[in-house]
Structure 1
Amino acid sequence: MNKAVTDGITFMPPAFANGLDVWSSGNGTPGSDTYDNSPDAAFVPSDADFGGALELLKTQATMKLRYTGQTPILPGCYLRIRARVKAVSGALPNVRIAGWAGAAGGAHVSGVDETGPATTLTAYGDVVEVSAIVGTGRRGGVDMPWGTQAEYGHFGLDLTGPNGGVVRIDDIEIEDVTRFFLRDMIGVVDVRDYGAVGDGTTDDHAAFEAADAAADGRDVLIPEGTYFLGDSVTLQARARFDGTVTMPTDKVLTLMQNFDMPGYIDAFGDEEVAFRKAFQSLISTPHHVELDLAGLKIDLREPVDLKAAVPDVSNFAQRRVISNGQFSVVAGPNWDTETFTSQASYTTSKGYELNNVANVANIPVGSLVEGNGVGREVYVKSKNVGAGTIELSRELYDAVGTQNFTFRRFKYMLDFSGFSKISKFAISNVDFLCRGDCNGLLLPTKGIGFHLRDCWFTSPRERGVSSHGDGCQGMMIDRCQFLSDETQLLVPNRTSIGVNINANDVKIRHNRCTYFKHFAVVGGTSSVILGNHIFQGDAADVGPRSAGIVMAHSNSRATISGNYICDCSIEWTNEHDKNPGFSSEFSFSAMSITNNNFLSQSTAPSFNFIRVKPYGSGHFINGLNVTGNTFRLFDGNIDRVEGIDTSFAPMDFSRFRNITFTGNSFNNVNTVVENPLVMEHAEASHSSTWVIQPFPKLPFQAWARTVESVTAKGAIREQGGGIYWGMPYHQVQQGPNKDRVNLRWEVPVEGSVTLRVRIDTPT
């Protein structure tokens, strides 16, 4: 690039032969004295070495020679000023190229270098060439970097040293030497040409913006160095980083043309810092929807506090995506779980609150709460230090009074907990490689529609995905892998959990989960759990099994369909209820378990695939559909596929309603159950009261409450062999366990009947 050629700019000053009235003995500025008619200067028309030459008698400590014309200083343009000089007589002076930096309106640019390197003349008649390069940027080889404030210069030379000598000076040359500095003369704009210093302390953000504005389709080059950006910068052009940048936490760097993880790693040099700054731009600016990790592995030395990366944003509800990469853990103390014990009080009048919490300031938001009467997966949602209270993610079933609670704060690779609300956020095709040292993801406090798809949560220490509030509302988890770090442990020794849910309308679909204590603890309602593969066995010959799916809300309104549930169960509880006893509510209701494949091996006979666990008395089942499932055991049998855990309370069989338990397949299950139960009964001797025993084939070993039909199978005969044409009536809830049905006949008869018996009543 040469501006004299491309733009027709004249840099070269006129020859001395054209007159000395444009050559100043001062700075060259308007009004300064010239050498025209000066007793110290003369034009020599026929010097043997130079042809025409200017002859000066040195009479001042610094004798200046400046062209009064304004030589333009352009960003990205570098000028070399050259002069050939020889001593003629007298004292031998020093010679250097020099100039005066001018700004808009004729102001002087102070604080810049205005002289080049000096050369001492050592002999008469020897021709010495002096030169210096001037330009806007601080580059190697630039003697006078003037920055972007300078618009022009008055150039020439200085004579320093002893006075009394006579020198002759050939015509001064000024030429464009930008080609020496640009590797790609067309493709890049260098930030140094616009004043960037790259010393790590000078604020270069204005230079970056100026270079970007001038790029016009070219790349912006950031050469080697450390460039401090004191304010937010958006680069519209593609950025090419040989150096790196630093900037305050609250300032944003947005790379419009290379908004991806490699671009930010190039910019910041450190991949953890780069991810934080890229995430900050993703949230803070409207320009991009997706942050592509570009298949890179990002090694994390500490949890990424995503709110701290975006300090000026608390709520965000625009769709954003992080995709296509891996977060890997660098083991160290930064990942250690923090444990706190503190006394607090609980009352059912404020079911989501702990009050009078000692040392509440020390308890981190997002901590797991443990204590007497605390259900699974209850977290600190927020805290009020002044009031001494903690807001809980769920209510506590039996913790009224004052006790010591334990708070465990797990460390997560990505921690959204500082945000008040994040909605419409997705993480796609990302591997959280926890290696048993840390945990995967902590959701924001509130939000709607968080989406995880095609992700891997590999060997989390305690949790794969945690919700400490309502950030899981409407959450979708699709086609993810949850791989436990507790594969080698026996089931009773496992503590890790794949995911917990507090809010409603969650979709958990087509995931694979192996060897956790629980895959999912679902505290909300209206969930869809579809097509997942869950494996939770161990190497014990015959061992207990844990729940793969815990449905921790009695009025569930949930669909569990098409899952492969291996060596684990579905457990249905009301452990997140401050009043766990039944009280004018729907009780255990609206659950659909259909078309699942249940499989287990080496399992104790008492194991149940479906287990209901009321945490208070008076509860009943009011809407349950268990149809089309396959229940299979190998390496032994189990007694039943369903059961009620009465550790806290039994259920009220008298109120069972709307239960369908049909069309299922049972293999190596001792007792096949149905509701309605279609059964046959044969009465071999004549009796007017037939006692029929549906037990143990009624689900949950519940009462026989309804007989839908009675059909004679062949003739019913009276004593003497005559056919009896009458109709019996039935009596339900008979016997000490109310699990029998009596058929009452007008006369003693014998024969066989088919009955449809139910444990519930018509709705």
Structure 2
Amino acid sequence: MNKVITDGLDLMPPPFVDGLDVWSSGDGTPGSDTYAGAGGGAFVPADQDFAGALEIVKSNSVQQLRYMGETTILPGCYLKVTARVKCLSGALPSVRIAGWPGQAGGSELTGVTTTGPSVALTAYGQVFEVTAIIGTGQRNGVDMVWADANYGHIGLDLTGPNGAVVRVDDIEIEDITSAFLRDMLGIVDVRDYGAVGDGVTDDAAAFEAADRDANGREVVVTAGTYFLGDHVTFQSQVRFEGKVIMGEEHRLIFQKNFDFETYADAFTTEEIAFRKGFQALLNFSDHESLDLGGRRIAVSAPIDMHAAVNNRPEFATRRAIRNGQLEAIPGTAWDDEVVTAQATYANSDPLVLTNVTNVAAIQPGSLITGNGVGREVYVKSVDVSGSRVYLSNQLFDAQGTQQYTFTRFKYILDFSGFEKISDLIFDHLEFRCNSAASAVLLPERGLIIQFRDCWFNKPKDRGITSHGEACQGMMVDRCNFESAESPIPTQLRKSLCFNTNKNDVKIRNNRSARFRHFGIMNGSGNIISGNHWFNGDDEVAGVRLGGLILTNPSPITTVTGNYIDNNFVEWTNEHDASPEVSGFSFSGLSITNNIFMCIDATPAFRWIVIKPYGPGHYINGMNVQGNIFRTFGVDIERVEDVDTTFAELNHDRARNVIFQGNSFHGIEQQTRNPYIDVHTQATEDQTWVVDTAGYLPFGGQARVLDSIVPVFAVRNASGDAVFANPYTSQEQGADDTQFYVVWPEPVRGQVRFSVRMDNPAV
């Protein structure tokens, strides 16, 4: 680069032979004394060393010589000033290149170096050469850094004792930018705009100036550590050889190359780079996603995502993080934080704990355990001044005051500091938890957060946790969950893939292996389809737990096309402060076209379990059709059951139950509703006792007889056909599972019947 050649820039001052009226004995500014007018100097046309020279008698402590013309100073342009001098007589002085830097409007640029290195003249008649380099960037070899100068009056100084007679050859100024800039086109270096790169000086303005001047060229941040004390936005392509440090509150945005690779190059660690990239993603409208470029990011401690974007408590515009790995590096930073505190719970205000001791130590997102607390109840938020803790779900039996335990798991990505985030997508990410960390804690509120094609590898406690309402409309699609607890028995595990508290959740086409639970879901309007979750172990006749736990008695949920392996679907109302029956009770669940499998389970194992936490509940709408139930190793007694730990179902109120079209393999007692079969009466009797023999699901009673039709002629003791119609009496026997067929006289024969445990007409 040479501005004399490329731009026709005239840098060279005129020779002394052209006259001394443009050579000042002052600072060179207009009106200063010249050597032509004030004396003290004379032109010497012939000299044995110089073709023409200025002869000066040194009469001042600093004898100045300045060219009064304005030598242009351009960003990125470096000037070498050379002077050749010799002393003829008098006390030997020293000489140095010097200048006066000027700004637009004619004012002096102060606070900068205006002199170059000094050279002592040590002999008479000997020619000494003195040089200095002037430029806008603080680079090695630059003697005078004039970052904000527009021009200069350049010359030299004679210093030391007075009385010397000195001759000065014509002063030369040349562009030596090529000695500093790379021999290539299309690059702007931030150092040429005043960036220092010492890790202390604020280089934000220099970065912005370089970007403004790039005009389509690439901005290069050369080696060094650059402190940025303000927001910086690059509209141009930028490349980092050096590193940047800046406060959490300041943003670094790349409009041309917004990707993780650039942030990784810019910052000292990948962890900081990820935080800064996410900060920019939520503060920059031109890009919808942060692409990690397939990189593995080592994470040494939980990433507080809100601390990275602390200027936004809420965000509701579609954004995505995609294509990379986040790997937890084991260490104490991932240890759970456990707080025990006394608190009071009242059913009248079922989502609040009051009079909480040690409340300041309790963190949002903490799991709550204690008497009467259902599974996956979290701290939604904390009111320290009011000693109150707000809950994600109600407690089923905690009225009064007791001790609670609050366990705060540590997550690779912790969004709990946000009040609300919607439309956030996690796409093709692998959360490598390494048995040390959990994966993702959602914000307090939100809508339509998506996980798609993600891997959750060995989470210590949880894969995805919702401690509030951010799971509303959440979608988890084609994700894989690998347990850290695979080698240990099922009942000793504590990890699960996800939980939800709100409505309209879609869990589709995922795979989960050997967690304690696949998912615990409250809310309604959910779709669980195409998943494969298996939770067994290598124990002989091992314990099997619920894989999918539905805690809303009216979930309006479909579970279809799944592969449910060595665990069961459990339907409860454990997140209800008043668990006794109210409303529609257990209703609105459809379980269709699934594969249910178990290996070497105990005969008491069941695949569909209803567990009421209070009295009076009944089934009020359930559809179980088209499923395949299959065992290997040990046959089981039946496929469904009621867990009566807290209460039994009220079978007298059952209605709208369909349990048919299923396949049973290795099941001792099949289940159907309606139960259709043939009863054979071998001996004459007026009252035929028909036992449903366990075929009706959930211990249901023989409540409604849809039809009864003789198969052949019904005959009396004389062998005569009897054409009279019988009547029936339902809900007979000790447990109401029998019904009677009553004839006018004792008869024998066969009847085909259809009996139900529910009353669909009610």
Please give the range of the TM-score, normalised by the shorter of the 2 chains. over 0.9
Provide the rounded CA distance (Å) in 1 between the counterparts of 2:124 and 2:401: 102
| Structure 2 equivalent of residue 160 of structure 1 | 159
Per-residue Cα deviation, 1:318-354 (whole angstroms, up to 9, x for no partner): 0000001111111111110000000000001100000
Residue pairs, 1:409-424, within 5 angstroms: 409-424=408-423
- Does 1:247 pair with 2:246? yes
Provide the rounded CA distance (Å) in 2 between the counterparts of 1:347 and 1:470: 22
TM-score (norm 1): 0.99
Provide the rounded CA distance (Å) in 2 between the counterparts of 1:694 and 1:251: 73
CA contact (8 A) 2:267 2:273 kept: yes
| Structure 2 equivalent of residue 403 of structure 1 | 402
> What SS class does the counterpart of residue 589 from structure 1 fall into?
coil
Amino acid of the structure 2 residue aligned with 1:95:
V
- Does 1:129 pair with 2:129? yes
Provide the rounded CA distance (Å) in 1 between the counterparts of 2:677 and 2:338: 57
Per-residue Cα deviation, 1:423-479 (whole angstroms, up to 9, x for no partner): 000001111111111100000110000000111111111111100000100000011
Residue pairs, 1:723-762, within 5 angstroms: 723-762=721-760
Amino acid of the structure 1 residue aligned with 2:528:
I
Per-residue Cα deviation, 1:574-610 (whole angstroms, up to 9, x for no partner): 0000100102x11110100011111101101111000
Amino acid of the structure 2 residue aligned with 1:67:
Y
| Structure 1 equivalent of residue 698 of structure 2 | 700
Q: Shift of the alpha carbon at 1:125?
A: 2.5
- Aligned residues between the structures: 761
CA contact (8 A) 2:533 2:565 kept: yes
Q: Shift of the alpha carbon at 1:39?
A: 3.7
Are residues 669 and 84 of structure 1, via their aligned partners in 2, closer, same or farther at CA, if it must alter by over 3 Å?
A: same
Q: Shift of the alpha carbon at 1:70?
A: 1.1
- Does 1:67 pair with 2:67? yes
Q: Shift of the alpha carbon at 1:128?
A: 1.9
Q: Shift of the alpha carbon at 1:174?
A: 1.1
Superposed CA RMSD in Å reads 1.0
Residue pairs, 1:272-287, within 5 angstroms: 272-287=271-286
Per-residue Cα deviation, 1:690-714 (whole angstroms, up to 9, x for no partner): 1100121111121011111112111
Provide the rounded CA distance (Å) in 2 between the counterparts of 1:434 and 1:562: 29
> What SS class does the counterpart of residue 282 from structure 2 fall into?
helix
Amino acid of the structure 1 residue aligned with 2:80:
R
> What SS class does the counterpart of residue 397 from structure 2 fall into?
coil
Residue pairs, 1:488-499, within 5 angstroms: 488-499=487-498
Residue pairs, 1:626-705, within 5 angstroms: 626-705=624-703
Provide the rounded CA distance (Å) in 2 between the counterparts of 1:268 and 1:162: 53
> What SS class does the counterpart of residue 91 from structure 1 fall into?
coil
Amino acid of the structure 2 residue aligned with 1:180:
A
Q: Shift of the alpha carbon at 1:485?
A: 0.6
Per-residue Cα deviation, 1:211-244 (whole angstroms, up to 9, x for no partner): 1011111111111112111111110111111111
| Structure 2 equivalent of residue 606 of structure 1 | 604
Provide the rounded CA distance (Å) in 2 between the counterparts of 1:16 and 1:643: 110
| Structure 1 equivalent of residue 311 of structure 2 | 312
- Does 1:553 pair with 2:514? no
Q: Shift of the alpha carbon at 1:204?
A: 1.4
Residue pairs, 1:476-487, within 5 angstroms: 476-487=475-486
Q: Shift of the alpha carbon at 1:185?
A: 4.0
| Structure 2 equivalent of residue 16 of structure 1 | 16
Q: Shift of the alpha carbon at 1:543?
A: 1.4
- Does 1:341 pair with 2:352? no
Among residues 612, 622, 626, which one is paired with 1:624 in the alignment?
622
CA contact (8 A) 2:714 2:721 kept: yes
Provide the rounded CA distance (Å) in 2 between the counterparts of 1:724 and 1:233: 98
Q: Shift of the alpha carbon at 1:727?
A: 1.8
Amino acid of the structure 2 residue aligned with 1:689:
T
Per-residue Cα deviation, 1:272-291 (whole angstroms, up to 9, x for no partner): 11111110000112121100
> What SS class does the counterpart of residue 621 from structure 2 fall into?
strand
Greater alpha carbon shift after TM alignment, 373-382 vs 736-745: 736-745
Are residues 377 and 632 of structure 1, via their aligned partners in 2, closer, same or farther at CA, if it must alter by over 3 Å?
A: same
Provide the rounded CA distance (Å) in 2 between the counterparts of 1:249 and 1:372: 42
CA contact (8 A) 2:27 2:100 kept: yes
Provide the rounded CA distance (Å) in 1 between the counterparts of 2:277 and 2:621: 49
Amino acid of the structure 1 residue aligned with 2:47:
D
> What SS class does the counterpart of residue 266 from structure 2 fall into?
helix
Greater alpha carbon shift after TM alignment, 201-210 vs 479-488: 201-210
Provide the rounded CA distance (Å) in 2 between the counterparts of 1:730 and 1:128: 130
| Structure 2 equivalent of residue 201 of structure 1 | 200
Residue pairs, 1:265-664, within 5 angstroms: 265-583=264-582, 585-664=583-662
CA contact (8 A) 1:397 1:580 kept: yes
Provide the rounded CA distance (Å) in 2 between the counterparts of 1:213 and 1:186: 17
Greater alpha carbon shift after TM alignment, 104-113 vs 290-299: 104-113
Amino acid of the structure 1 residue aligned with 2:593:
N
Per-residue Cα deviation, 1:174-218 (whole angstroms, up to 9, x for no partner): 111111111144221111111212222222111111110111111
Greater alpha carbon shift after TM alignment, 560-569 vs 185-194: 185-194
CA contact (8 A) 2:188 2:217 kept: yes
TM-score (norm 2): 0.99
Per-residue Cα deviation, 1:242-301 (whole angstroms, up to 9, x for no partner): 111111211110011221111001111211111111100001121211000111111111
- Does 1:232 pair with 2:217? no
Amino acid of the structure 2 residue aligned with 1:737:
D
> What SS class does the counterpart of residue 451 from structure 2 fall into?
strand
CA contact (8 A) 1:179 1:185 kept: no
Amino acid of the structure 2 residue aligned with 1:147:
A
CA contact (8 A) 1:384 1:390 kept: yes
Per-residue Cα deviation, 1:6-40 (whole angstroms, up to 9, x for no partner): 22221111111111011011110111111004442
CA contact (8 A) 1:695 1:701 kept: no
Amino acid of the structure 1 residue aligned with 2:418:
F
Amino acid of the structure 1 residue aligned with 2:86:
K
Greater alpha carbon shift after TM alignment, 715-724 vs 651-660: 715-724
Provide the rounded CA distance (Å) in 2 between the counterparts of 1:11 and 1:439: 65
Per-residue Cα deviation, 1:391-443 (whole angstroms, up to 9, x for no partner): 10000000000000000000000000110000000001111111111100000
| Structure 2 equivalent of residue 216 of structure 1 | 215
Amino acid of the structure 1 residue aligned with 2:485:
E
Are residues 610 and 207 of structure 1, via their aligned partners in 2, closer, same or farther at CA, if it must alter by over 3 Å?
A: same
Q: Shift of the alpha carbon at 1:124?
A: 2.3
Amino acid of the structure 2 residue aligned with 1:587:
S
Amino acid of the structure 2 residue aligned with 1:651:
L
- Does 1:722 pair with 2:720? yes
Unaligned runs of 5+ in 2: none
Q: Shift of the alpha carbon at 1:104?
A: 2.2
Provide the rounded CA distance (Å) in 1 between the counterparts of 2:98 and 2:601: 93
Provide the rounded CA distance (Å) in 1 between the counterparts of 2:607 and 2:499: 20
CA contact (8 A) 1:679 1:694 kept: no
Unaligned runs of 5+ in 1: none
Per-residue Cα deviation, 1:48-93 (whole angstroms, up to 9, x for no partner): 2220111111111111100011111111111111111122222221
Greater alpha carbon shift after TM alignment, 81-90 vs 491-500: 81-90
Amino acid of the structure 2 residue aligned with 1:191:
V
Q: Shift of the alpha carbon at 1:573?
A: 0.4
Q: Percent of pairs identical after alignment?
A: 52
Amino acid of the structure 1 residue aligned with 2:111:
G
Provide the rounded CA distance (Å) in 1 between the counterparts of 2:232 and 2:723: 95
CA contact (8 A) 2:657 2:760 kept: no
| Structure 2 equivalent of residue 32 of structure 1 | 32
Amino acid of the structure 2 residue aligned with 1:82:
T
Provide the rounded CA distance (Å) in 2 between the counterparts of 1:23 and 1:690: 133
